[in-house]
Amino acid sequence: MIIAHDLGTTGNKASLHHDDGRLVTAVTVAYPARFADGGVAEQNPQHWWNAVVEATRSLVARSGVDPAVVTGLTVSGQMMGAVLLDAAYQPVRPAIIWADTRSAAQTAQLEAIIGQDRAYSLLGHRLNPTYSLEKIMWVRDNEPETFEGVRHFCVAKDFVVHRLTGRLATDRSDASATNAYDQGRGMWSAEMLSAAGLDASIFPEVLESTAIVGRLTSDAANATGLSRDTRVVMGGGDGPVAAVGAGIVAPEDGAYVSLGTSSWISFASDTPVYDPLMRTMTFDHVVPGSYVPTATMQAGGAALQWVSELLTPEPSGASLSALVADASTADASSSGLYFLPYLLGERSPYWNPNATGSFIGIGRHHGRAEMTRAVLEGVAFNLLTCLQSFRESGATIDRIDAIGGGAASDVWLQIMADVWGLPVRRRTIVEEANSLGAAVTAAVGLGLVDGFRAARDLSEVTAEFTPDSGRHSDYLTRHAVFVDGYESLEPWFAKRAGR
């Protein structure tokens, strides 16, 4: 059997799979994150490790399997963060995660040396405070005494893989999300590291996502309760791994939307996709030789979770479901109420760390249902702008499969189908799609399945939401108002940032 861990922002979703990838059981272990004014977003790496240990033991206990049958383990994780380690591979400070946007000055420094156009063609990504390279520079510039002790850099899954095996490495998918990786040459970019003033020695070796990193150390085996013979496969970043979990392993498989804390639309491609306006980005896929062009917004599911916490005295899954149910027939944009879902700044399509969440057009007659509806529509509107970006770059998208926690909502998927004018399909595995993708990646690396195409048979379509042409036409008109709302507030966002 295989155990897969997915290190998200709110917790570790772990799952136990048969050797062909079929799901046996799953568990989630939560951990905190610290968000603060000024763009601060941090986590304690030890919490990730504790969650991996707890989840592993829980999976074995719940399933009743002999730990010896778990012969493979792998990890996927949140991307674009910065875990800084000393010579003994211990964290020198809390991890700076993907949502942190403090490194605007470092981004400007790179822009002055490299330029956005050159960086985008080299990296497949814009220069932006959300990326790892800028975060490392921020620590160097703002915490010099701490940075003196830094000897290694990695991201979330790499930290855990090192704790499991004693070997520090990363994979192409996560490397491609750092702003430090030459995508065309498949190696760390000397040009970017020179511009950043960073030594290449702190960056880990880059492996294929399917590479067997090693076996469990005695400490890791004792902590997890697994055999020392358990082999650890490198794994990948949560976005590309989620594509596998959604069955998106080749261009003919279409596109998918992930409705987790952050949300994105992506598809598989044989080549990077470059947007002339640089609204989208391209990651390396965990499938060797493939890519996943992606448009990621900072707060998708996070926006819905936030409004639930705001409007419900004791937020819970039941309270959120009740709010969404009330919102199913409420009027939001149709009554002039819009929500800009930029609670953590924004990546695609605006790449503006200064953007903030905003209710526009709110009136005395608007209540909880209307505000929740506005949040649901606001995320769908923002993702429509991302879809339009892909189409303008030549991509053809005629349907979208939905994964992630938000994909459990009929109301939200119907809103998205109506806003986008496309069929939106729910798959059998939504919340565990990332760990399913990781399990398939491990199965490929261990030689247990014949390639990534096996993923297509492990998650089936269970529901399809077809767009209503009349509502879609109305939503297109309102989407233009939504975009105008952002553009009108953009100068104010800049003034607010300079307060």
- Catalytic residues, by residue number, are 238
* Cis peptide bond N-terminal to 276, omega within 30: no
Side-chain half-sphere CA neighbours of 335 within 13 A: 16
* φ, ψ of residue 188 in degrees (nearest 5): -60, 140
Check if the beta carbon of residue 156 is closer than 8 Å to that of residue 45. yes
The answer to whether the beta carbons of residues 39 and 130 sit under 8 Å apart is: no
Residue in the block written with tokens 């976005």: 239
Q: How far apart are CA 288 and CA 300, in angstroms?
A: 29
- 335 contacts 320 by C-beta, under 8 angstroms: no
Residue 75, token pair as written in the block: 């990890």
Sign of CA dihedral 105, 106, 109, 110: negative
* Farthest-apart Cα atoms in the chain, separation: 64
C-alpha 126/C-alpha 130 separation (Å) is: 10
Residue 29 main-chain phi, psi, to 5 deg: -115, 115
Kind of pairing between the strands at 400-403 and 255-259? parallel
Q: Is 136 exposed, middle or buried (0-12, 13-18, 19+ CB in 10 A)?
A: buried
Q: Which residue from 344, 357, 238 is spatially nearest to 298, judged by alpha carbons?
A: 344
Burial of 159 (0-12, 13-18, 19+ CB in 10 A): buried
Mind spelling out the 3-state secondary structure of 238-263? HHHHHHHHCCCCCHHHCEEEEECCCE
Q: Are 202 and 193 in contact (CB under 8 A)?
A: no
d(CA 227, CA 60): 12
